[in-house]
Amino acid sequence: MEILAAPKTLTIHVGCQFDYATDHEVPAICIVRPGGFDGVRLLSETWMTTPPVAYHDYVDLFGNVCRRLTLPAGLATIYYDARVEAPTEAEAVDPAAVQTPVEDLPDDVLTYTLPSRFCLSDELYNRAWQQFGATEPGWNRVQAIVQFVHDHVKFGYQYAAPTRTSSDVLNNATGVCRDFTHLGIALCRAMSIPARYVFGYIPDIDIPPSAPPMDFCAWFEAYLDGRWWTFDPRNNDRRRGRVIIARGRDAADVPMVTTYGNATFRSMTCWANQIIT
């Protein structure tokens, strides 16, 4: 009997839909397209706005693909659907990865050591060093931060708040995945570990399907030993099939939809599923 080789890639179906109501035309920016990072390849995609509108794409300062359009007055829908190819392996792990001294960091990495809109590393400096100063610099220190955030913060969609900072998350000990991520980033930066915000789609591969509806996910990457590594305070696990949409200093750099005017958000749907062939 012929033994078939295991597939080298995963095929994943991703997408989303946003519904708005407006009293007049409202300019908007949309960031939902997979960015082609970390070996992910776009196979096909469908964009649709209802009613149809003109648009153009551009690449922002962080290398993310953004779409500009104008929502018409009345009810409007932004729909995106795609199939992508992703590596089968989970994210790499290296407990021996060392922390790079600040003086040796590449110039373009330095921005990820600084406080940002939601990641107030300057406010958390003392707390970070009190809590993690005795840990081994490098991978083990970042993992200790991830473990702390995972254990400290209670997840719940009812805790979502658009203005919550890393300090708020630490004090309230509640939040959604972006809050877990902001706190993890802020604690890393407080200890001079470069960390950047990442968001995208994650299918439920190798884990039981979750009861809540599918949603966009946020995690972070830390710069150790000359490269970026994936860490996920919300799930605290290595996952297969992550599809990165965008990276930035924090969520303020990469909102899924930005509107410049009075647009009432009505609903959002998101999907990410492995296609078995």
Pair (129, 170) in one structural domain = yes
Pair (159, 213) in one structural domain = yes
Pair (58, 117) in one structural domain = no
Pair (260, 243) in one structural domain = no
CA torsion sign for 145, 187, 166, 171 is positive
Residue 97: inside a domain, yes or no?
Answer: no
User: What's the whole-model pTM score?
Assistant: 0.94
Span 229-243, average pLDDT? 93
Beta bridge partners of 270: 16
Rounded CA separation 127/109 (Å): 24
For residue 2, pLDDT over 60 is answered with no
Residue 232: inside a domain, yes or no?
Answer: yes
Pair (163, 187) in one structural domain = yes
Pair (110, 125) in one structural domain = yes
Pair (81, 138) in one structural domain = no
DSSP E strands, 110-216: 154-155, 174-175, 195-201
Residue 96: inside a domain, yes or no?
Answer: no
Residue 29: inside a domain, yes or no?
Answer: yes
For residue 1, pLDDT over 70 is answered with no
pLDDT tens readout for residues 251-265: 999 999 999 999 999
pLDDT tens readout for residues 53-99: 999 999 999 999 999 999 999 999 999 999 999 999 989 999 999 99
Buried b (16+ CB within 10 A) or exposed e, 127-145: ebeebbeeeebbbebbbbb
**130: pLDDT confidence band, cut at 50, 70 and 90?**
very high
Residue 33 is encoded by which pair of tokens? 């397209």
Residue 2: inside a domain, yes or no?
Answer: no
Residue 120: inside a domain, yes or no?
Answer: yes
The CATH number of the domain where 45 resides is what? 2.60.40.2250
Pair (202, 261) in one structural domain = no
pLDDT mean across residues, the chain = 93
**276: pLDDT confidence band, cut at 50, 70 and 90?**
confident
Q: Name the nearest CA neighbour of 272 among 226, 239, 225, 248.
A: 239
Task: Give the chain's domain count.
Answer: 2
Pair (107, 228) in one structural domain = yes
Rounded CA separation 243/260 (Å): 28
Residue 95: inside a domain, yes or no?
Answer: no
Q: How many CB atoms lie within 10 A of CB 158?
A: 7
Percentage above 70 pLDDT, the chain: 95
Span 121-125, average pLDDT? 97
Pair (116, 66) in one structural domain = no
Residue 200: inside a domain, yes or no?
Answer: yes
Give the per-residue pLDDT at 221: 98
Rounded CA separation 245/253 (Å): 12
pLDDT tens readout for residues 35-54: 989 899 999 999 999 999 99
Pair (219, 260) in one structural domain = no
For residue 228, pLDDT over 90 is answered with yes
Give the domain range for residue 160. Answer: 102-252
The CATH number of the domain where 212 resides is what? 3.10.620.30
Give the per-residue pLDDT at 211: 58
Pair (226, 244) in one structural domain = yes
